[in-house]
Amino acid sequence: MNGSLAPAETPVAATKRIARRSRSTPPWTPHPALASVAAGLPGDAFAVLGPHQAVDESVMETVLMHGAVAVHARCAGKRNWTALTSTSIDGVFAGVMRGNGRHVQLRVQWPQGEQTLWDPYAFGTLLSETVLQRIGEGDVDAMRQLGAVACCNEGIEGVRFAVWAPNARRVAVVGDFNGWDGRRHPMRLRHTAGVWEIFLPGVEAGARYKFCITAPNGQPLPYKADPMARWAELAPATASRVASPVAFQWHDQAWMARRGQWRQGPVSIYELHAGSWMRDEHGGVLDWDALSDRLIPHIQRLGFTHVELLPVSEHPFGGSWGYQPLGLYAPTARHGDPAQFATFVDRCHRAGIGVIVDWVSAHFPDDEHGLRQFDGTALYEHADPREGLHADWNTLIYNYGRNEVAAYLLGSALEWIERFHLDGLRVDAVASMLYRDYSRASGQWLANEHGGRENLEAVAFLKRLNQLVGQRHPGVLVMAEESTAWAGVTAPVEHGGLGFTHKWNMGWMHDTLMYMQRDPVHRAHHHSEVTFGLLYAFSEHFVLPLSHDEVVHGKGSLLSRMPGDRWRQFAQLRAYYGLMWAHPGSKLLFMGGEFGQQGEWRHDVGLDWCEASQPLNAGLMQLVADLNGVLRDQPACYRAEQDPGSFQWIIGDDRQNSVFSFLRRDPAGAAPPVLVVCNLTPVVRSDYRVGVPVAGFWREVINTDGAGYGGSNVGNDGGRQSDALPCHGQPHSLALQLPPLATLYLQVAA
């Protein structure tokens, strides 16, 4: 567990309230509630178990040890052991000792051996009343105190377990340390916040555990994983694990000091699914170390600034690609433990690569070990399916209006940023959060308090998320997958916006892919599918996503969606990438797109890396690297992307020839402009005149038809001298040879 995690509250140094008895100690008699507690039924375990001090300095010790052969006890500081008597209540041992009862050590004889441990029922309350009150108010840092926290309590090492379950009649922790016996360790209810807690001495990092919860109606629930677990068991197993208290030793200080510079630099993102980017020689999933060894050099060669991981929060079903998580605080164990994930991020940072993860706050699956009916009630979700059910995904919707639920989600966001030094979160399915009627027919949704369709609680949650991250970690990206026309997604909250740093431009992606899928002979009739995006390109801070969603579910790969024979497919994909990298907006490309994988992405196998070495595939990969190089080296291609002055149409209306031309500019004028010309037909166009703003030799910076990329090598011999012929509203012009199905970048020589 990383040291940046909100520190655990110092346990309250309080001995259990003492049950005073007369100086002459009568024979032991069971508390009326003891039999119920011993049987695993609701009751105040701390009132009947553990040490209870009398006025004569004797201590009555009552222990619950089902299956034990014998139990001995002694108070801290005492040398002699007292044999406890097996009582008429199954599993209960009791006896009288000398001492103060503050800490009691037990020696338990089991059929398989002997065990020495401290009695957990000798400890007082753990979380302070202040923390509990803050949890009820929705305080994020207080909420992060919950879970399994390895700590030293009053000089004794162990683990503090705490879970929010306000409507439960009983909660016990079960795990490797008590034989998964739900009777053994019932927890104390802290009524202030509905939090149950217990300190178990001797439990170590790595121990598996769950919570045994009794519903309000008295029915036991299936064992529940810890919503706040920082480590989880490898799927398909579903237990939580106690995370190590040892702070990870980071080596990325230089990166962390400068990561906020993305606002002044380019952002180019390589999106990947960690489980299927590459497999080992046996077809198995790579661990984080092996993935680092292979992935980081690949990203460096291609020149991407960031990697974006499909969700790596723990999730029960691999086929969800991580988009149905149940462990929002834990990296999936599929690739290693939390320290290995931290090492992966650390290595990326030292290589100059930022790390973004998909973060899912829109919904959760209904697995019985998860959040559904967590304490026997709709706690994290809405009770009414018209508010609480996503029929499309068969998942449940968080109740964002509940303080504790909002704090739970916000705490998760901070956990990834602070504990694992992540540089960004991509918030999944934001559109489904914003609208109550999302993918719902009439009569299947409930209006908000004003009669509208907006989910006001979700809107408030998203604003709070972005304000919180922006205030604490201003260099961190928060990107919205939002597919509607909601205004101000990336506008500051104080100006009425949602406060995201970026929004995925789903409209651009949809329109341009539709255009590129058309036979070139028909493109003249659909010219606006390329130009329309510029009408709103500066309304938000956009990311242009060619994401995983575009290469699954029968859509085919990007390459397979290009019409024509194989050579034309590659030519058009190269031209499309050239257009994309020059278009205003940060870039995102899903794995396999860099080399033009022929087949559709499959989450359960690796990419077809054997294709990457083929000439056309290798040429495409070299183009992606060169485009990223231009993006990095040419401020006109990334500076002030939300400023309309960064873009100027030169030719936007040549429908007949399917030719587009525009300038990318540095609005500050500190860098020369870049001229972009696209010919999206298979026809070579000679002496095609394009207006330019200044005279000089315009050097060909990129030609996607270059021989090195697998093209036909039609071009302009490295560049063209301008002519003093006004054209397209510009004082000068170039007579260019436009390669077929290609994009050119040109820049005037300094």
Residues assigned a catalytic role:
428, 481
Q: How far apart are CA 82 and CA 97, in angstroms?
A: 6
Q: Which residues contact 507 (CB under 8 A, 6 or more apart)?
A: 483, 532, 533, 536
| Cβ burial, residue 592 (10 Å; 0-12/13-18/19+) | buried
Phi, psi of 661 (to 5 degrees): -145, 140
Q: Rounded to 5 degrees, what angle do the CA atoms 82, 86, 87 make?
A: 125
Q: How far apart are CA 317 and CA 147, in angstroms?
A: 23
Phi, psi of 309 (to 5 degrees): -95, 130
**Pairing status of strand 502-504 against strand 542-546:** parallel
Q: What is the DSSP letter of 731?
A: S
Q: How far apart are CA 261 and CA 496, in angstroms?
A: 25
The sign of the CA dihedral 445, 447, 453, 454 is negative
Q: How far apart are CA 113 and CA 269, in angstroms?
A: 56
Dihedral, CA of residue 296, residue 298, residue 303 and residue 308, to nearest 10? -60
DSSP of 43-85: S-HHHHSEEEE-TTSEEEEEEE-TT-SEEEEEETT--S-EEEE
**Pairing status of strand 104-110 against strand 70-75:** antiparallel
Task: For residue 66, give the nearest of 203, 174, 197 by alpha carbon.
Answer: 174
Name the E strands within 474-613.
477-480, 502-504, 542-546, 586-590
Task: For residue 545, give the nearest of 696, 356, 382, 412 by alpha carbon.
Answer: 356
| Cβ burial, residue 553 (10 Å; 0-12/13-18/19+) | exposed
Strand pairing partners for 99?
none
Q: Which amino acid is residue 480, in one-letter code?
A: A
